[in-house]
Amino acid sequence: MAQVFDTIVIGGGGMGSAAAAELAARGERVLVCEQFPLGHHLGSSHGHTRIIRQAYYEHPDYVPLLLRAYERWAELADHGGQQLLFPCGLLSIGHPTGELIQGIQRSAAEHQLRVDPYTAGQIQQRWPQFTIPQEHVGLFEPAAGYLLVEECVRAYLRLASARGAALLENEAVISWRAGQTDVSVRTIHGEYHAARLIITAGAWAGHLLAGLGLPLTVMRQLSHWFSPPPGGMWTADHFPCYMVETPAGAFYGFPHVDQRGLKVARHYGARELPGPEYVDRAIDPVEASPAQAFFARYLPHLAAQPYESAVCLYTLTPDRHFVIDRHPQWPQVVLAAGFSGHGFKFASVVGEILADLALTGKTALPIGMFAMNRFAGER
C-alpha cells in the first residue's frame, strides 16, 4: 500500500533539506527522497566551505534574498547550537571595468551595502600574500564570510527529522506523476503519495523535469586544497575569502580554517555536459594546473601541488540565474534548479520560498527573475 504524505521533497541536499525543515515547521507531513546517502559528496552540497556575500556582482536583485538568507542561517545556527556562518570578509579583485568589480559596485550602491575600495598597492600592503597587477583594484566586503556546507545540510536534516519529517536515503526516484489534486512518486523501493511535490534534485533535475524542456546543463568543477606555508598569515584573522577575475577566468578561495588547508577553485571555465551521467569522477593531477597558474601569478607563496581535490557539479542555466517556480501544468509541483554554481548560500531562504510556493502558491520574497518562462524561446 502506498504511503501518503502532505509534501514529498525529491533531493536532500542544501535546498531540499532546508525546504523539508521549513515545511515540517509549518505542520506538514514531509517525506524526503534522496538517491544517495544523506550528506553525500556526489552533487553540489559538499566541499566543506562556501562563500556567502551580500554585494552580489551577478545582479542587484539577489541582494534582498541574501539579506533574508543571513537571517535564516542565524536561525538555523540557534536551533542547533552551532556556528555555521563565519564572517571573515571577502576581497574581490579585478580590473575596474570588469564584470566582477562593476557588478559589486552596482549592487552595493543600489542597496547601500558597505564595500571598501583598495588600490593594488593598498591590497598588497594590507594582505602581502597577494601579488596584484597594478591596473587592478579591490573591493573588501566586511559582512561576507563562509558557510560550513556539510554542517548546514546536516543541521537542516536533523531539524527536519526532529520536526517529524521522514528522511529516506539511497532511494532513487524512478518517476513522478501529478493528478488534479495529488502527486505520486515511484522510487526503487516503493510508491508514495502526497498533495504536493517539491523537486530539488540538483544535477539530476533535468531528468526529472524532462517534459518542461528546461535548458539545463551540468559542469564538472574541481576544488583543490593546498597546504599553507608555516606561520599564521593564512588564517581568517589575517587573510579573507577572495574572488579574483583574471584573463584565465575567475578564481575564488578561502583562508586556512581547519586541517584541510587552503581551498581554491575556478568558477566556470569547464565543458558543459548534458547530464550528471557524463561526469568523470576520476581526477587527473594535471587538472590542478589552472589553480597552480593562478597561484603563481596572484598568490606565489602557496604550494604548487594540491594534496586533495574533489569534484563538484554545477547545474547551469543559459543566463546563469536560478529557476524557482511552480510547474506550468501542475501547480502543486514546485521546482528549484539551475543554481549555476552560486546557489548554496541561498539555501536557507530558498527553503522558505519553496514552502511558500508549495503551500500558498506565492511568496512575498522577490523571485520574479527566476521564472522558468524566460526560457520559452529556447525549448
What is the spatial distance between Cα 10 and Cα 176, in angstroms, rounded to a whole number?
10
Residue 159: other Cβ atoms inside 10 A: 21
Write down the pLDDT at residue 378: 60
- 315-351 pLDDT tens trace: 999 999 999 999 999 999 999 999 999 999 999 999 9
Positions marked catalytic: 46, 49-50, 263, 267, 312, 345
- Asked if 110 and 63 touch (Cβ cutoff 8 Å), the reply is yes
Q: Is 208 left (phi over 0), alpha (psi -120 to 50) or beta?
A: alpha
Average pLDDT over residues 183-197: 97
The rounded mean pLDDT for the chain is 96
Helix-, strand-, coil-residue percentages of the chain, each rounded to 5: 30, 30, 40
The angle formed by the CA atoms of residues 32, 202 and 356, to the nearest 5 degrees, is 60
Residue 258's pLDDT is 86
Q: Which is nearest to 200 in space by CA: 314, 323, 321? A: 323
Q: How far is CA 230 from CA 103, 257, 324, in A?
A: 36, 14, 45
Is 195:27 a contact under the CB 8 Å cutoff? no
- Alpha-carbon gap, residue 95 to 105, rounded angstroms: 13
pLDDT score of 209 more than 70:
yes
pLDDT value at 285 more than 70: yes
Q: For residue 137, count other CB atoms closer than 10 A to its CB.
A: 21
Largest CA distance in the chain: 69
State residue 196 phi and psi, 5-degree precision: -140, 160
C-alpha cell at 103: 557588478
pLDDT digits (tens, 9 = 90+) for 92-144: 999 999 999 999 999 999 999 999 999 999 999 999 999 999 999 999 999 99
